[in-house]
């Protein structure tokens, strides 16, 4: 199974104006800047992008705006929702925005995500669907033993669990992306497809170097990584604002 992309994908922040209204153009402009700095893909309206605070129309506007801004760079749209019905409906609409793939976090409390991802794959038609394991936010997440049977084109693992990553690579033959910068070196050594990272909003160059095996790059980005995780997603927004002069306004938290 060929990965949708390899390397570092940005789990893109979503920018809002002073009134909390969506700034799609500003978000797309940031995405384009990150591509210039070496990002290999842009993942829009995921957890870092405050997807739970966006309505479907706002997500679709973001997908289209980022698609226009980044040229041929891979764009992945976040279509995870609280229910299978909502996620499938959004996925069906998302494919018309030109995204290269969609990614969907499992709903909270869903023990068996098989039907969920089957519905999304049907709605997406020929557009790849990526699974998204993030048990800290959407427990219980995706059991490792279920991954091989899911109708998906890969999985993002944001557990931050090194043993879980090992178990996934051992039992699942599809592409895997880590969601935790602390595991980038391990992910690269294990032959994972890459990372999808909030940190890449701030330090895409160091993330790319770390995935390539540069341990010094990991040491250099560690203070920024820790700062990103404090008061999430506000901490990420503040660091992005410091580097790029963007808005710090959040809807979540």
> Per-residue pLDDT tens for 149-171?
999 999 999 999 999 999 999 99
Overall residue count recorded for the chain in this entry: 253
- Using DSSP's 3-state secondary structure scheme, residue 218 falls into helix
Q: pLDDT band at residue 195, thresholds of 50, 70 and 90?
A: very high
Delimit the domains of the chain by residue range.
Answer: 10-243
Judged against a pLDDT cut of 90, whether residue 189 lies above it is answered with: yes
Q: What is the pLDDT of residues 73-128, one digit of tens each?
A: 999 999 999 999 999 999 999 999 999 999 999 999 999 999 999 999 999 999 99
Mean per-residue pLDDT, 221-235: 95
| Predicted local confidence at residue 1, as pLDDT | 78
Residue 116 falls in the annotated catalytic set: no
Sign of the alpha-carbon dihedral angle for 248, 249, 252, 253: positive
Q: pLDDT band at residue 253, thresholds of 50, 70 and 90?
A: confident
Mean per-residue pLDDT, 177-191: 96
> What class is the 10-243 domain?
alpha beta
Catalytic residue among 117, 156, 172, 237: 156
Residue 242 falls in the annotated catalytic set: no
Q: Mean pLDDT score of the chain, rounded to an integer?
A: 97
Tokens 């938290």 found at: 253
Instruction: For residue 182, give both structure tokens.
Output: 């602390």
CA terminus-to-terminus distance, the chain:
38
Beta strands in 26-108 (DSSP E): 41-44, 74-78, 101-105
Instruction: For residue 224, give both structure tokens.
Output: 């920024």
Q: What is the pLDDT of residues 128-138, one digit of tens each?
A: 999 999 999 99
Give CA torsion, residues 185, 180, 43, 211, to 10 deg: -10
Nearest to 237 by CA among 11, 6, 1, 3: 11
| Predicted local confidence at residue 31, as pLDDT | 98
Instruction: For residue 135, give both structure tokens.
Output: 């048990």
Mean per-residue pLDDT, 196-203: 98
CA distance 101 to 77: 6
Indicate the pTM of the whole model: 0.97
- CB 77 within 8 Å of CB 63: yes
């Amino acid at each position: 199974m060929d990965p949708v992309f390899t390397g570092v994908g940005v789990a893109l922040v979503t920018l809002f104006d002073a009134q909390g209204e969506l700034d799609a153009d500003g978000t797309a402009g940031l995405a384009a800047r990150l591509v210039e700095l070496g990002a290999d893909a842009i993942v829009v309206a995921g957890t870092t992008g405050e997807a739970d605070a966006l309505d479907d129309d706002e997500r679709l506007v973001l997908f289209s705006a980022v698609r226009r801004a980044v040229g041929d760079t891979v764009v992945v749209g976040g279509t995870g929702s609280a229910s299978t019905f909502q996620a499938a409906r959004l996925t069906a609409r998302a494919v018309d925005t030109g995204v290269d793939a969609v990614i969907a976090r499992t709903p909270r409390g869903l023990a068996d995500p098989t039907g969920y991802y089957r519905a999304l794959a049907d709605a997406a038609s020929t557009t790849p669907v990526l699974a998204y394991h993030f048990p800290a936010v959407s427990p219980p997440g995706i059991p490792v033993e279920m991954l091989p049977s899911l109708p998906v084109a890969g999985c993002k693992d944001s557990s931050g669990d090194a043993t879980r990553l090992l178990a996934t690579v051992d039992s699942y033959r599809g592409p895997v992306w880590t969601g935790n910068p602390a595991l980038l070196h391990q992910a690269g050594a294990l032959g994972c497809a890459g990372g999808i990272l909030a940190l890449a909003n701030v330090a895409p160059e160091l993330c790319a170097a770390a995935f390539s095996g540069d341990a010094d790059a990991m040491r250099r980005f560690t203070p920024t990584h820790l700062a990103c995780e404090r008061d999430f997603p506000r901490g990420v927004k503040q660091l992005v604002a410091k580097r790029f002069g963007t808005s710090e306004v959040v809807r979540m938290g």
